[in-house]
Amino acid sequence: MADSHPAIITPEVWEAVQLEEKRRKEFMKAHRIKAFSSNIGENPFASKVICGECGEAFGRKKWRPRPGEYRSVWQCNARYREKGVMGCANRHIDESTLEQVFIKSWNALMENKDACIKKWKQLQKGKNPLQAYRAEKLLEYADKEVLRFDAEQMHVTLECIVIYETGKISVRYLDGTVIEM
């Protein structure tokens, strides 16, 4: 019997996966990312920090201010694209600052919690299965009290953090919401 195997995934999940693959391909192309990384444990900000000046992704550098001391700092990948030539001059940002930026942006979202919940419930019922999945995750976190940086939460809700030379930072969520800081 052709139908004797149980369906492993529903058509909605399959469609959501296709849409997510398409989104990642376009995102990678737009920001010159060679391999989309989602290493939540080791490097949660990989493929998530974008240069607002030139559009390339930021990469992580380990700085050693003193022997035995490490600081993870993010800078534009176009900074030293050509050897010995200074490329994009955008500012760098500490990983600990990125964590704070994410928490603050989430708190800013939650200041309008009722409006957010209304919007996400509509998305959840909508025709786009990827958006419905995003909305479900956002609603889950809206129900919790978020006090500390949570890489898992960021992974399922954040599209990217855009860093500008002026100090302006845009936090873009996967449902399309943008928080300017």
Judged by the rule CB under 5 A, the positions of this chain that interact with Zn ion are 51, 53-54, 56, 76, 78, 88, 90
Sign of the four-CA dihedral 126, 131, 133, 137: negative
CB of 92 to Zn ion, least distance (A): 11
Cβ closest to Zn ion, residue 12 vs residue 165: 165
E-assigned strand segments in the chain: 49-51, 58-63, 71-76, 93-94, 158-163, 169-173, 178-180
CB of 71 to Zn ion, least distance (A): 20
Is residue 97 classed exposed, middle or buried when 0-12, 13-18 and 19+ CB atoms within 10 A define those classes?
middle
Cβ closest to Zn ion, residue 53 vs residue 175: 53
Cβ closest to Zn ion, residue 28 vs residue 54: 54
Q: How far apart are CA 86 and CA 76, in angstroms?
A: 11
CB of 122 to Zn ion, least distance (A): 36
Dmax over CA atoms of the chain, in Å, equals 68
CB of 60 to Zn ion, least distance (A): 15
Tokens of residue 169, six digits: 């930072």
DSSP 59-82: EEEEE-SSTT--EEEEEETTTTSS
Cβ closest to Zn ion, residue 51 vs residue 73: 51
Cβ closest to Zn ion, residue 53 vs residue 95: 53
CB of 79 to Zn ion, least distance (A): 7
